[in-house]
Amino acid sequence: MRASGACASGGTRWRGRKSLGSCASPDAIRHARKADKVFEPKMKANARERHLRKWKHAVARA
């Protein structure tokens, strides 16, 4: 797979290229892709900050 998103000489190697065309741009692929699930944080911000502070403290001691 080419990082630039340009077509390879024998055609692109992107999965799903049949539905997107053989030379779909990275932007076209991004817009065509749909997330199966969207995860939203349920933890309150102050609890998250407290846990993160404790984790950073533990890492610093290790």
Q: How sure is the predictor about 52, in pLDDT bands with cuts at 50, 70 and 90? A: very high
For the cut 90, the answer to whether the pLDDT of residue 28 exceeds it is no
- Tally the C-alpha atoms within 13 A of residue 2's C-alpha that lie toward its C-beta: 14
Residue 20, C-beta contacts closer than 8 angstroms, at least 6 positions apart: 14, 28, 29, 32
Spatial CA neighbour of 17 closest among 35, 34, 32, 36? 32
Backbone angles phi, psi at 46, to 5 degrees: -65, -35
Q: How sure is the predictor about 49, in pLDDT bands with cuts at 50, 70 and 90? A: very high
For residues 6 and 3, give the distance between their C-alpha atoms in angstroms, rounded to a whole number: 8
